[in-house]
Amino acid sequence: MTAKNNAGWLKVVGLGPGGDALITPEVSAALSEATDVVGYVPYVERVAPRPGLVRHGSDNREEIRRAEQALRLAAEGRRVVVVSSGDPGVFAMAAALFEALEAGEPEWRDLDIQVLPGISAMLAASARLGAPLGHDFCCINLSDNLKPWALIERRLRLAAEADFAMAFYNPRSRARPEGFVRTLEVLRETCGAQRPIMFARAVSTPEERLTVTTLGEATAEMADMRTLVMVGSSQTRLIRREGVPWVYTPRSVLESVSGACSGTDAGAEP
């Protein structure tokens, strides 16, 4: 059976950062109609088993093989959902799916394929803390599994020099603990010790933990693979309150601001 005359479809979806309340209705509907769910084991296990549903879990570094499996199943007429955490288009399975599609069987291109957005860890963490990404920001994956560390460091420096607020995915794993150590060193060199840095671990789950501190006080051990890290721009402000402060980056920038990280006390209260 070819892709043109079967009833199969493939949807790449985001399950949000962890809490069921942050799964969109669109994604829930796709999961209720699926015959097969494909993904990294911990994400597949977030989908409840039911009659008629086959769950296909695989290892973390098998993205292309996982995408090819999903495409084959859809070509056979199955209704397939590929699951990612957060949003599937942010360092997740949507890009891997299209890599496999481009290099794969020509008939796969005729499949009914959709990408359904989810709430990313970056946006969920920002919402918990206030609005640290309220002005221009960038997002960097700190894993060097698929790109050289030299490129990561160059992007860190350029983002800091451009005075973006920054969000970091995959900051520190047991296999590569030294990368985040170097990240903090680079940021202190370019932004100074007083720049606010935020650690949001397991947002929207019972294990959620939020920490707001400065680059001078931060240590690499504050982050792991379940942590979304954000660093403010020179304009980012803190509003003190009991517990974790609110953090926000104003919508406007003063003309007198040079734009480069200068190490000024950006974390002062307004």
Enter the tokens of residue 50: 């039911």
Cβ atoms within 10 Å of 227's Cβ, excluding its own: 23
CB 128 within 8 A of CB 211: no
How far apart, in Å, are the Cα atoms of 121 and each of 82, 143, 150? 18, 16, 25
CA neighbor of 120 nearest in space, from 246, 23, 247, 245: 23
Closest CA to 103 of 65, 130, 143, 74: 65
The domain ranges of the chain are 3-119, 122-248
List C-alpha distances in Å: 26 to 51, 116, 158.
Answer: 21, 7, 37
Q: Is 189 left (phi over 0), alpha (psi -120 to 50) or beta?
A: alpha
- The CATH T-level fold of domain 122-248 is 3.30.950
Specify whether domain 3-119 bears CATH 3.90.1260.10: no
pLDDT tens, position by position, for the chain (270 residues)?
A: 445 557 899 999 999 999 999 999 999 999 999 999 999 999 999 999 999 999 999 988 899 999 999 999 999 999 999 999 999 999 999 999 999 999 999 999 999 999 999 999 999 999 999 999 999 999 999 999 999 999 999 999 999 999 999 999 999 887 787 889 999 999 999 999 999 999 999 999 999 999 999 999 999 999 999 999 999 999 999 999 999 999 999 998 876 555 455 444 445 454
CA separation for the pair 118, 20 (Å, rounded):
12
The CA distance from 75 to 242, in Å, is 55
> CB-based burial of residue 141 (10 Å sphere; 0-12 exposed, 13-18 middle, 19+ buried)?
middle
Instruction: Find how far residue 177's CA is from the centre of its chain.
Output: 19
